[in-house]
Every structure is written in structure tokens, then in C-alpha cells.
Amino acid sequence: MSGKFEGVGMEIGIKDETIVVVAPIEVTPAQKAGILSGDKILAIDEKTTRGLAVDKAVKMIRGPKGTVVKLLILRENWEEPKEITIKRDLIEIPSYKLEFKENIAYLRLYQFFSKTSTDFANAVNEIVSQNPKGIILDLRDNPGGYLDVARDIASWFIEKNEVVVIEDFGNNEQKIHKTNGRSFLKDYPLVVLVNKGSASAAEILAGALRDDRGVKLIGEKTFGKGSVQELQTLIGGSSIKITIAKWLTPKGNLIDGIGLEPDIEIKITEKEIEQKQDPQFDKAMEIINSLAD
């Protein structure tokens, strides 16, 4: 959550009782080795992951810079699993990347760290100064992070006092989180890119933008990680995450275990990835141009 650690650079979780890659992190050993969202991890250093808890898998995959880990990977459409060897490194994750293409702002968010709210304000200032004709917000392979950060970022795009997300604690107990009134970007045409690596706080932001502003989601169905976790600091500097509730979109749709269906579904093939083609981004550019006309 601080944005720095030693390992291979990916978020993992459990889906259908299997350890899977939620998302590889940009410019890390995992991404460079070809790891993709949705990859199933069948073994770690030749030890099966069957019945393995996520925290145990994380401990086995993480390690000092310069050491290696071997992962047995099974990917959709592969007939047989393949072993991929990854050399660990120091992972330093940026908050975002901002580029301007044909007078359209392309803003990619990598995760929702503690520093992302502050960093995002810098991105907003740059966008406003350039006054583009629209914004493409890329949440692909964004595994999430802090709820408050997702709410802060949503507030730049949405009117004040609009619902961002609903925390459902069960027993008819709910807490509603609303935008705080910045809304500097609320009038810019906007589309959002998502895929199966978009999870947690990324799904909250995407769901809020669609429910509150009618923004189109382009890409693939999201991961479906909609649990609320509190970070409790312990004596000695360690901390623990505790799951306390589930997230609902402003219209009351459950995220956990379901995910968000895109408004425009476009899948990217391995061949397109190898050739550095991005039909999801191309479609986003097409839609922004049509909205700006």
C-alpha cells in the first residue's frame, strides 16, 4: 500500500478456489515475463497451490531482489500449463501516467495508494491547463487500494454530494460515501477502460462513473473484488487488513464475485499484445471523438 516492495510485481487472489493473477503491475518483472490478468498459478517453485491461502502464496512469491521464483501458469486457451521463471526486483509503483493524444487526455491509474490522491491533483491541474476535448481513464490491470482514494478521485469527475459507493455491513446497516465537491473534470467527455485485472477500488470508481454520469465502460468484465477492508496498524510497525463489509455501486449493484460488465466488450488477443495493438484504446478514442463533435 506504500507503493514499494521487493518481489515480482503483481496482485494475486483466489477465484473458483484457484490462485489467479488479478493484475501484473506496469513495468515490473511479472509484466516483462509475460504474466497476464487471469493467469492461474498452479505451482510456485514446483509446490502445488491447491488449497493454498493467498497470504501463503504471496510469501512464497515475494523475496529479495535478484532471486528467482518459478511459477507454473495455466492461461485460458492454453492446452498445457507453462513454467515461467521470474527474477525478483525492487518494485516501485507510480500512481499514474498522463499523455495527450490528438488533444485527448489519456490518464492511466495504476493503483489507489495512500499518495495517489495528492498525485492525482497534479494530473488534474495538467489536464485543466491543456483543456483537452475529452479524457480516457484507463483502469485496466488496476487491482485497487484505499476506498477513500477512490472516493477522492471520483470527486474530480462527479458533482458534489453524489453517491460514490455504498458499504453494506449486513443486517440492514449501510454507510454511503459521497463526492466531496471538487468536480473540476465533470464537464469533460469521458470513457473508462476496464479488464479482468480491474478490481476493488478500481471497480468502485468505474461503477460510480457509470451510475452517476452514464460513462461508458470499454473492455472486459472486471475482476469482482468488492469487499471492504480496514487497515489496522499494530505494535512494531506491522499491520493487518480486516474484511468488514461489501461494496455496492450507487445503483445498488453488488461488485463482489460478480464484477462490472462493460458497455462495449472488446477482448485483446495474445497476438495483439505481442504486436502492441490495443483495440480497446482505439475504440475509446473513437467514442471520445464522437462525443466531442
CA-CA-CA-CA dihedral for 247, 251, 254, 260, to nearest 10:
-100
Cell numbers describing residue 73: 501458469
Of these residues, 200, 212, 216, 256, which one is catalytic? 200
Is 82 tagged catalytic? no
* Phi, psi torsion values for 47, nearest 5 degrees: -105, 125
Exactly one of 40, 196, 216, 225 is catalytic; name it.
225
Measured CA to CA, the distance from residue 121 to residue 264 in angstroms comes to 29
- Tell me, rounded to whole angstroms, the distance of Cα 59 from its chain centroid: 22
Q: Are the beta carbons of 150 and 165 closer than 8 angstroms?
A: yes
Look up residue 176 and give its three cell numbers: 454511503
Alpha carbons 38 and 290: distance in angstroms, whole number: 32
Is-catalytic flag, 276?
A: no
Active site residue 2: no
CA distances, 45 to each of 86, 144, 158, 201, 283 (Å): 11, 27, 46, 31, 40
| Category of 214 on φ-ψ map: left (φ > 0), alpha (ψ -120 to 50) or beta | left
Among 138, 152, 168, 211, which one carries the catalytic annotation?
211
Cβ-in-10-Å burial (0-12, 13-18, 19+) of 233 comes to exposed
DSSP code per residue over 110-128:
--B-TTHHHHHHHHHHHHH
Is-contact 217 206, C-beta < 8 A?
yes
Where in the sequence numbering do the catalytic residues fall? Answer: 200, 211, 225
